[in-house]
Structure 1
Amino acid sequence: MNKLTRKNTSWFSSGSPWIWLNGGAISLCMIMVVGLLGLIAVRGFGHFWPADILQTSVVDRSGQTHIIMGEAVRDEVIPAAVARDGGYEIADDAEIITRHLFKMGNRDITGRDFVWYLDMGMKPWEYPADAVAIERREWGNFYGYPVAIKEQDQKVTELAASDFWQQLDARLERALDLHEQVHRIEKVDIGRINRQMDDLRLERRRLELSGISAAELAVADAEFAEQRAALEAQYAVVKAERDQILAQATRDKLLVRTADGKEASIGFNHIVRVTRPNTMTVAEKLGQYVERFWEFLTDEPREANTEGGIFPAIFGTITMVIVMSIMVTPLGILAAIYLREYAKQGTMLKIIRISVYNLAGVPSIVYGVFGLGFFVYILGGSIDQLFYPESLPTPTFGTPGLFWASLTLALLTLPIVIVSTEEGLARIPSTIRQGSLALGATKAETLWKVVVPLATPAMLTGLILAIARAAGEVAPLMLVGVVKLAPSLPIDGNYPYLHLDQKIMHLGFHIYDVGFQSPSVEAARPLVYATSLILVALIMVLNIAAIKIRNNLREKYRGASE
């Protein structure tokens, strides 16, 4: 017994229990992280898989039978009492009952998109070969059967024709190409002309405010009128081209029929995709899965952000993080260098350091309120008064935008960069400083040519933490520049190319908006998961890039610090 006691005491004193405890904690954390990411991936990325279309008949509360068609989303078991309270006639001996959630689409016809139906009285599910899922630009998906194709209100082919599906694919490809042409004309050509017209208006207002004489203003007005006439002529040509393409795009229509026999007509210019998932092979479904996922990454959102893609949010997040990094890195590093290398040690310096540490714990919404009040209204309003008086009362920088969102995040992450940089400077051995000074270098030369390069990995560590913190913030951005839907990207071909005054979309705010402000909760649910995983992946990519740079610098200066 004494030997066993001594053995246990020796095992505890060796530190092995703490090693096992730490290893178990790390393993548990890894399992939780992988499990969370796996849940998000399954729930989100499963949305892009072409689900089979089922058809069945159900019994409603009044006892009437209806034929429905759509996608099976999920099912759940509920107490029979809940169904009875909902108006259904359930047998008295039934305790539980199964209900199914169907994505029925056809919102423009039925007014409903996702509907729960009880398993009681439901016929076996069928999967018709001719059933189609039509993804539309408005009103969500349509589920039903194609009937015929019309051109200029004349039927050109019907479902029974051998070339029906070939004609449908060809006409849909034509409509998609015409839609892209219209989109390019409206975004690029008409947008450029509108911007030039606005520049003329602002230039005229600028001359008026400068106090020039009436005669000089009349001469300028004549030049402006000539330029405006030229722009209006360009606009007329571009508009005529757009109207001609729109007329071509509305030529073809697809006649369709719902499962219960209702007919409708859908213009090809409103269709994004037509699929027959019940007849597709696994390889075909996989190809469409990749196509739909790529569109999710590269397209613009539509249908209140519950359809389409998230590219503007991805672009806005990356742009904001880059601008934030450009601002916070030099400010944080210079502040840390001053506090560590130049500031006189004493009570005031201790108070400053405590204040910096406390700033890291301030709620982010407080930074948003400060950014809105000081950066936007005071600083931005002053910039408008000094440099953009011709635009007033319409604000230029006196309104939330990309620059103020980035500056607010820079202020929020500044303590992280300062603390990390200070710790890196403190780890540099004093012998290196003394050796540099002994060789005749000045204090400034020792600092900037010896100490700072060796502390660069710590500086990048602070930047990595700042990027991770900033990319996931939502609360302050709602106040200083991020919106639900931004009609254009902050970068284009018009000078100054990067428009810091524009509002942007952000992945974090997009998740909040889709998850809590969407009119259709069930339609938004998979997009919340998918967008969340994209945000995590984006943060990981940004961090991996910064870690790679940090490791290279660490290897480069490893020998100098030994």
Structure 2
Amino acid sequence: MMRISLQKWYRSGEPWVWLNAGAVSISIVMVVGLLALIAVRGMGHFWPGAIMQANYELPGSESRLVAGEEVDHEEVPIKQLKNAGVPIIEGIETMQRTLLKVGNRDLTNADFQWVVANYLTNMEYPEEIMAIERREWGNFYGYLRAVKQDGELIAGANDAELWNIFQQRIERALTIYNDIYEIEKHDIGAINSELERLRLQQRRLELNDELTSTQLADIRAQEAELQAQYKQLEKKLAKLHISFQRDSIVVDSVDGNTTEISLAKVVRAYQPNAMNLWQKIAFYGEKVWEFVSDEPREANTEGGIFPAIFGTVMMVILMSVMVTPFGVIAAVYLREYASQGVITRTIRIAVNNLAGVPSIVYGVFGLGFFVYFLGSNIDQIFFAEALPSPTYGTPGLLWASITLALLTLPVVIVATEEGLSRIPRAVREGSLALGATKAETLWRVVLPMASPAMMTGLILAVARAAGEVAPLMLVGVVKLAPSLPLDGNYPYLHLDQKFMHLGFHIFDVGFQSPNVEAARPLVYATALLLVIVIAVLNLSAVAIRNHLREKYKALEV
């Protein structure tokens, strides 16, 4: 009876239901676990870690003070430590070592240091020790001794008052830095853009033998006006730079080195050991906001990644605008107009095969055809005045978007064809019977009902394109491009400009950075951000698709 019941249960198909449910559950757990790991390892980087200070007393060597943030701990076999020349303690098999972020790279040439925890003594967390984030050389850990203005010491009644003076001077320096950035990036950038436009205008007229004395005088007058504005901004900038360099601080590192740091190099300073919970939460929010809104610094291992976020979203939007109409038109022709013969079947097979071509092949094609052939010819015809400097004959945002549009085109074609094939024949015949032409039936009835399938194809295209890196390395992505391809200078959207991308940023920081330990948490944080960006883009498309499904649900038969 037991055997019969098992056979009956097996034939009912219920075991496969449980197997599928188990597979789905395992997949969900794995995905959630991966995202949780990325989130913890990445977002935990922005929490203000306590700064530990201790004596490091290796047997046979002189004791020294070390200080830094405890980044990682691991158990290491005695044999491995012995081979590294570290004195060992007899009778134990493993010893714990701790990775400290000691900073002060300008003094010690290293941001991180491994220490054997067994040899750390007198561990403490002094409240007055501070961390200074700098624009160069990473963090500095030490003690504030004095604040200077124009080389003169500023007196503080006590340490707390001196710290408040220091914070006020940092705020002042940051305000001046923002003013300098605004002038250099926007005001002077706009003038330089106009001067370049006038230069190209003159060169174009010369090449066409159309330059008259009146036109030349007009160009010279505009140049003179721009140069006058530039000189005014230059004077203002010089005053700001003098004021920017006014303040400095005297600090001591834990090993006794005294140094002076200009506040022009300081981003922020804080005392994590003296912070309460709410102060740490506020600091954490400030750091996360900096990460998503600022430009990178220190070889992409510090600061933010806003240019990479902007470049990724802009490229995906342009790719979507390009791939959707071409994919839909191709699918409509293959399904509605083409004769269903050998040639059409061959084209469908070719489209399906294109979906399996490695992405790097598309990158090589984009570089050879779009950049070197098409872009060079566009430069010869429309931008001859700028030669030999290429305009579109070099990798850029436009060619990267078109290359990815070509990469994802088969996905959109197949999804749209599937949607068109599901539209009942009776709907088409009903429209034609009421007097509509085939084109009107297609435009007003068939395509709206197939629009959810089109959106499905777009969702799949966005999901693939947003994470691609290999082809982009050949057709437009660079390590650092803080200038956005969209700004206030004509023509506003610079399709010829190179850009940053989150996927390439992960590759660069994770595998090309000289400071591996500093880059590691940023790899996790950037990966999490890339997943979030792709999820937001996909959810937006899914919401539109669901709306279209509900809108045209009544037409389904």
Please state which band the TM-score falls in when normalised by the shorter chain: over 0.9
TM-score (norm 2): 0.98
Within a 5 Å distance, the mapping from 1:466-477 to structure 2 comes to 466-477=461-472
Residue among 294, 303, 318 paired with 2:298: 303
Match of 1:81 in 2: 79
Q: Following the alignment from structure 1 to structure 2, what is the Cα–Cα distance between the partners of residues 62 and 140? A: 32
- TM superposition shift of 1:39: 0.3
Residue among 349, 360, 384 paired with 1:365: 360
- TM superposition shift of 1:159: 7.7
- Tell me, yes or no, if the aligned pair for 2:46 and 2:288 is still in contact at 8 Å: yes
Q: Following the alignment from structure 2 to structure 1, what is the Cα–Cα distance between the partners of residues 321 and 497? A: 18
Match of 1:103 in 2: 101
- Tell me, yes or no, if the aligned pair for 2:411 and 2:460 is still in contact at 8 Å: yes
Within a 5 Å distance, the mapping from 1:539-558 to structure 2 comes to 539-558=534-553
Match of 2:53 in 1: 55
Q: Following the alignment from structure 2 to structure 1, what is the Cα–Cα distance between the partners of residues 13 and 122? A: 63
1:156 lines up with 2:161 in the alignment: no
1:518 lines up with 2:523 in the alignment: no
- TM superposition shift of 1:42: 0.3
Within a 5 Å distance, the mapping from 1:273-312 to structure 2 comes to 273-312=268-307
Residue among 428, 436, 445 paired with 1:441: 436
Residue among 387, 390, 406 paired with 1:392: 387
Change (3 A) 1:77 1:162: closer
- TM superposition shift of 1:119: 2.2
Match of 2:62 in 1: 64
1:355 lines up with 2:384 in the alignment: no
SS of aligned partner of 2:170: helix
Match of 1:177 in 2: 175
Change (3 A) 1:161 1:446: closer
Q: Following the alignment from structure 2 to structure 1, what is the Cα–Cα distance between the partners of residues 434 and 494? A: 49
Match of 2:30 in 1: 32
SS of aligned partner of 1:150: strand
Within a 5 Å distance, the mapping from 1:204-215 to structure 2 comes to 204-212=202-210
- Tell me, yes or no, if the aligned pair for 2:57 and 2:121 is still in contact at 8 Å: no
SS of aligned partner of 2:42: helix
Q: Following the alignment from structure 1 to structure 2, what is the Cα–Cα distance between the partners of residues 556 and 223? A: 58
1:46 lines up with 2:44 in the alignment: yes
* Letter of the 2:266 counterpart: I
* Letter of the 2:536 counterpart: V
Q: Following the alignment from structure 2 to structure 1, what is the Cα–Cα distance between the partners of residues 216 and 252? A: 60
Q: Following the alignment from structure 2 to structure 1, what is the Cα–Cα distance between the partners of residues 129 and 497? A: 45
1:202 lines up with 2:200 in the alignment: yes
Q: Following the alignment from structure 1 to structure 2, what is the Cα–Cα distance between the partners of residues 47 and 161? A: 29
Change (3 A) 1:450 1:38: same
What is the Cα-based RMSD across aligned positions, in Å?
1.3
- TM superposition shift of 1:487: 3.1
Match of 1:495 in 2: 490
Q: Following the alignment from structure 1 to structure 2, what is the Cα–Cα distance between the partners of residues 302 and 430? A: 60
Match of 1:221 in 2: 216
Higher mean C-alpha deviation, range 217-226 or range 10-19 = 217-226
Match of 2:116 in 1: 118
- TM superposition shift of 1:93: 4.1
Residue among 313, 321, 335 paired with 2:316: 321
Q: Following the alignment from structure 1 to structure 2, what is the Cα–Cα distance between the partners of residues 185 and 159? A: 38
1:408 lines up with 2:416 in the alignment: no
Residue among 328, 338, 362 paired with 1:343: 338
- Tell me, yes or no, if the aligned pair for 2:58 and 2:119 is still in contact at 8 Å: no
Match of 1:167 in 2: 165
Q: Following the alignment from structure 1 to structure 2, what is the Cα–Cα distance between the partners of residues 526 and 197? A: 43
Match of 1:143 in 2: 141
1:375 lines up with 2:370 in the alignment: yes
Match of 1:479 in 2: 474
Q: Which runs of no fewer than 5 residues in structure 2 stay unpaired? A: none
- TM superposition shift of 1:218: 4.5
- Tell me, yes or no, if the aligned pair for 1:146 and 1:159 is still in contact at 8 Å: no
- Tell me, yes or no, if the aligned pair for 1:135 and 1:142 is still in contact at 8 Å: yes
* Letter of the 1:275 counterpart: Y
- Tell me, yes or no, if the aligned pair for 1:80 and 1:97 is still in contact at 8 Å: yes
Match of 1:456 in 2: 451
* Letter of the 1:157 counterpart: A
- TM superposition shift of 1:450: 0.9
SS of aligned partner of 1:484: coil
- Tell me, yes or no, if the aligned pair for 1:60 and 1:66 is still in contact at 8 Å: no
- TM superposition shift of 1:5: 2.2
* Letter of the 1:72 counterpart: E
Match of 1:128 in 2: 126
SS of aligned partner of 1:128: coil
* Letter of the 1:494 counterpart: N
Q: Following the alignment from structure 1 to structure 2, what is the Cα–Cα distance between the partners of residues 484 and 161? A: 43
- Tell me, yes or no, if the aligned pair for 1:456 and 1:550 is still in contact at 8 Å: yes
Q: Following the alignment from structure 1 to structure 2, what is the Cα–Cα distance between the partners of residues 381 and 66? A: 62
- TM superposition shift of 1:226: 2.5
SS of aligned partner of 2:153: strand
Q: Following the alignment from structure 1 to structure 2, what is the Cα–Cα distance between the partners of residues 159 and 414? A: 70
Q: Following the alignment from structure 2 to structure 1, what is the Cα–Cα distance between the partners of residues 216 and 470? A: 47
- TM superposition shift of 1:43: 0.2
SS of aligned partner of 2:259: strand
* Letter of the 1:8 counterpart: L
Q: Following the alignment from structure 2 to structure 1, what is the Cα–Cα distance between the partners of residues 40 and 419? A: 41
Change (3 A) 1:90 1:273: same
Q: Following the alignment from structure 1 to structure 2, what is the Cα–Cα distance between the partners of residues 314 and 353? A: 36
Higher mean C-alpha deviation, range 428-437 or range 525-534 = 428-437
SS of aligned partner of 1:253: strand
Q: Following the alignment from structure 1 to structure 2, what is the Cα–Cα distance between the partners of residues 222 and 104? A: 61
Q: Following the alignment from structure 1 to structure 2, what is the Cα–Cα distance between the partners of residues 499 and 483? A: 15
* Letter of the 2:340 counterpart: Q
- TM superposition shift of 1:217: 4.5
* Letter of the 2:366 counterpart: G
For residues 296-324 of structure 1, the C-alpha deviation after alignment (integer angstroms, 9 at most, x for no partner) is 00000000000000100000001000000
- Tell me, yes or no, if the aligned pair for 2:58 and 2:87 is still in contact at 8 Å: no
- Tell me, yes or no, if the aligned pair for 2:295 and 2:482 is still in contact at 8 Å: no
1:17 lines up with 2:12 in the alignment: no
- TM superposition shift of 1:358: 0.4
- Tell me, yes or no, if the aligned pair for 1:147 and 1:158 is still in contact at 8 Å: no
- Tell me, yes or no, if the aligned pair for 1:409 and 1:470 is still in contact at 8 Å: yes
Q: Following the alignment from structure 2 to structure 1, what is the Cα–Cα distance between the partners of residues 159 and 46? A: 31
SS of aligned partner of 1:102: strand
Q: Following the alignment from structure 1 to structure 2, what is the Cα–Cα distance between the partners of residues 45 and 487? A: 23
* Letter of the 2:543 counterpart: K
* Letter of the 2:445 counterpart: V
Matched length = 557
Q: Following the alignment from structure 1 to structure 2, what is the Cα–Cα distance between the partners of residues 551 and 91? A: 66
Higher mean C-alpha deviation, range 157-166 or range 33-42 = 157-166
* Letter of the 1:206 counterpart: R
